Structure 1
Amino acid sequence: MKSVNILQGFLPLIVFGLLAGSSVASVMVALGAALIITVIIGFSDLRKGMILTWANLVLFCSLLIAVGVLGMTGLLPVMGMLIYAALAAVTFGSILVKIPFTLQYARDMVDRTLWEKPAFIRVNVLMTGVWGGIFVINFILDYLAFAYPHSAGGITPPLTYLVLLAGIIFTIWYPGHIKRKYSFPSGQSGR
């Protein structure tokens, strides 16, 4: 799988997290930057109908309109939870409709004859499920920071980045592991 392509799908989330502060202005800048990155970096993926990129586009555009146009500033304290809940829903939803979002990226990397192989599909369900789990964990961490700002508020933001980093490392490592495990010839994979 082109790990770089799939990881580009997470760049808007990372940029949002790095830029968003506690003020309306900083959240607007963060949402705008995430939206711009989604469109510029993900333009090709949007044209291909990639689920993750479309989810980012709809999510960050909706939040930008809600806060910037409709003035729904009450969303600011729960914005992280909303983002992670939406991404988890899209991720698990993609599994339920039998189009795990990682499958779309993996198909760009393997011979067409492997696309319908059960092992290929299972591996992508697993990888998509891992990302769904990551989004759920980060939702919980954001909830803890919201519910217990004095005790959990300082530690949870760095933990969300560590959880995302673990997902990135897994996404880079796992396809190669599967390829080596099943000894697929160059250019083929069991995903």
Structure 2
Amino acid sequence: MALFLIIAPFATFASLMMLTTVKISLAASAVIAFGLVCRDMVGGRSIKMLTTGALIIFASLAGYHLIAATEMHPTSVRLAVDGGVLAIALGSIAIRLPFTLQYAREMVDAETLKQPRFLRTNYILTWVWSAAFVLMLVADIVAIYLPSMPLWVCAAIAFAVRNSASYFTQWYPKHVRGRGQRQHGRCLIPTTAQSFQPQGAFNGPHCPQDPSRFPLDRRVFRGLHCCR
């Protein structure tokens, strides 16, 4: 759900740009961003910097088109949107508050919040999204210098990049949790087995050199794998 909320205003903008005018696309995206801000306020959640930034970007561009005599070129509008979002993402890293952190805090327990890997994971996710915004920005710049390039090409690039970042956002936290669980599970069996050994059975942290000295515990030693 949080992932959908992150991309909802931008996905709306990208979709409507292929179907209707720039003015309608910007207005609809601003309305969705405003709805998300109100949702957080009513629900007592933190106001997300990305959602607030999206509201400012789309509302400003929509307001410009309401009073301007002519509309901006669609490519220029996409350039302004992607550039603004990239500035928000990099700015959140600069102030040491990666924008994905605000969403992640609402989805985990207090113990997870204290883990160093939680913050590190959100830095990585924010950098990945920043890279995605850079690629979309590059596609917009290429479209400006190659006006003959069809509009759907830029839309396809943005769609592919956005979906790739979304997939990584879903996959990477699970990967980090799985790796942490595997590391936490190491040496649990040896530690348990050691607790059943007679006094003096272990010489330091290693296995005994001669298990036969303790006949009552041979069965334990047969199944014991020491963790060095």
TM-score tier, shorter chain, comes to 0.7 to 0.9
Q: What is the RMSD computed on CA atoms of the aligned residues?
A: 2.2
Superposed, 1:175-186 pairs within 5 Å as 175-183=173-181
1:78-136: CA deviation from partner (whole Å, max 9, x where unpaired) = 11111111101100100110110111111112222332432111110110110011001
> Which residue of structure 2 aligns with residue 187 of structure 1?
none
| CA distance in 2 between partners of 1:151 and 1:34 (Å) | 25
| CA distance in 2 between partners of 1:5 and 1:154 (Å) | 28
**Letter paired with 2:64:** A
19, 30, 38: which one aligns with 2:16? 19
The answer to whether the Cα contact below 8 Å between 1:66 and 1:72 also exists between their aligned partners in 2 is: no
Task: Go from structure 1 to structure 2 and tell me whether the alpha carbon gap of 1:130 and 1:167 turns closer, same or farther (over 3 Å shift).
Answer: same
Superposed, 1:24-173 pairs within 5 Å as 26-45=21-40, 48-71=46-69, 73-74=71-72, 76-151=74-149, 153-173=151-171
Q: Which runs of 4+ in 1 moved over 3 A?
A: 74-77, 151-154
The answer to whether the Cα contact below 8 Å between 1:91 and 1:132 also exists between their aligned partners in 2 is: yes
1:126-153: CA deviation from partner (whole Å, max 9, x where unpaired) = 1011001100100001111121122475
More divergent stretch after superposition (116-125 vs 39-48)? 39-48
The answer to whether the Cα contact below 8 Å between 2:89 and 2:99 also exists between their aligned partners in 1 is: yes
> Which residue of structure 2 aligns with residue 10 of structure 1?
7
What is the TM-score of this pair, normalised by structure 1?
A: 0.84
Give the % identical residues. Answer: 27
The answer to whether the Cα contact below 8 Å between 2:5 and 2:36 also exists between their aligned partners in 1 is: yes
Unmatched segments (≥5 aa) in structure 1: 185-191
C-alpha deviation, 1:72, in angstroms: 6.0
Paired residue secondary structure (2:181): coil
C-alpha deviation, 1:155, in angstroms: 2.5
Unmatched segments (≥5 aa) in structure 2: 183-228
More divergent stretch after superposition (103-112 vs 63-72)? 63-72
**Which fold has the larger relative contact order, with Cα–Cα distance below 8 Å and residues 6 or more apart in sequence?**
1
> Which residue of structure 2 aligns with residue 188 of structure 1?
none
More divergent stretch after superposition (156-165 vs 124-133)? 156-165
The answer to whether the Cα contact below 8 Å between 2:17 and 2:25 also exists between their aligned partners in 1 is: yes
Task: Go from structure 1 to structure 2 and tell me whether the alpha carbon gap of 1:177 and 1:72 turns closer, same or farther (over 3 Å shift).
Answer: farther
Paired residue secondary structure (1:182): helix
The answer to whether the Cα contact below 8 Å between 1:134 and 1:167 also exists between their aligned partners in 2 is: yes
